[in-house]
């Protein structure tokens, strides 16, 4: 399948997610490699949503077990490692629950990799056996960019891309 970046996407957020989800799944068909899958998701999500300032994965360091290390992403320099005990990413990894933060300055322990990040969503990523393998972290420079629509769409996308 050929993929051309475009700016005529639906204005409705849920519709835009549905469209890009179909495109991501089409591009990834037959590609088993996890790094290739994560890099493609980060690229295509980032391209589809101009408000996404940092879009990417923190992968569970299997050697340490309770630490995340940076994976494929689009955006400015991210922290390399995040312990499960720290930040929004750590909270998502520790609890297994999606975290929506409307104002990162109000989140205790938020890690400011780039001070331009103002709000974020972090979604746990599981493999087919249900084991946590990573978190998807999306940051925006505006406050309160993410809501339940983003949570539902991104959780569904992570399930369809990584838990099959
Ligand atoms: N916002 C994250 C840190 C990672 S970056 O912003 C790329 C957190 O507090 O978990």
The predicted-structure confidence for 4-30, as pLDDT tens digits, reads as follows: 667 788 989 999 999 999 999 999 999
pLDDT of residue 2: 54
The CA 25 to ligand 1 mean position distance, Å, reads 26
Give the closest residue (by CA) to ligand 1 atom 1: 111
Question: Of the candidates 76, 81, 36, 34, which has an alpha carbon nearest to the alpha carbon of residue 58?
Answer: 81
- 55 forms bridges with which residues in the sheet? 74, 138
Question: Of the candidates 113, 109, 110, 106, which has an alpha carbon nearest to the alpha carbon of residue 143?
Answer: 106
Please state, in angstroms and rounded to a whole number, the distance separating the CA atoms of residues 139 and 124.
15
CA 149 and chain centroid, separation? 14
The CA 30 to ligand 1 mean position distance, Å, reads 31
CB 121 within 8 Å of CB 100: yes
CB 38 within 8 Å of CB 12: no
Entry pTM: 0.95
Question: Of the candidates 87, 124, 89, 122, which has an alpha carbon nearest to the alpha carbon of residue 107?
Answer: 87
Helix/strand/coil for 48: helix
CB neighbours of residue 80 within 10 Å: 10
pLDDT tens, position by position, 44-103: 999 999 999 999 999 999 999 899 999 999 999 999 999 999 999 999 999 999 999 999
The CA 88 to ligand 1 mean position distance, Å, reads 6
Please state, in angstroms and rounded to a whole number, the distance separating the CA atoms of residues 1 and 23.
9
């Amino acid at each position: 399948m050929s993929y051309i970046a475009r700016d005529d996407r639906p204005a409705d957020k849920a519709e835009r997610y549905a469209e890009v989800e179909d495109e991501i799944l089409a591009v990834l068909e037959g590609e088993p490699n996890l790094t290739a899958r994560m890099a493609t998701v980060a690229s295509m999500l980032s391209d589809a949503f101009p408000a996404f300032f940092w879009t990417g994965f923190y992968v569970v360091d299997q050697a340490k077990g309770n630490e995340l290390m940076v994976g494929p992403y689009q955006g400015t320099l991210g922290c390399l490692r995040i312990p499960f005990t720290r930040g929004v990413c750590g909270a998502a990894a520790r609890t297994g629950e999606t975290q929506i933060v409307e104002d990162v300055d109000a989140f205790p322990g938020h890690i400011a990799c780039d001070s331009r990040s103002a709000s974020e969503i972090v979604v746990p990523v599981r493999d087919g056996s249900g084991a946590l393998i990573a978190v998807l972290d999306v940051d925006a420079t505006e406050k309160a960019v993410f809501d339940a629509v983003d949570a539902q769409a991104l959780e569904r996308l992570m399930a369809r891309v990584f838990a099959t």
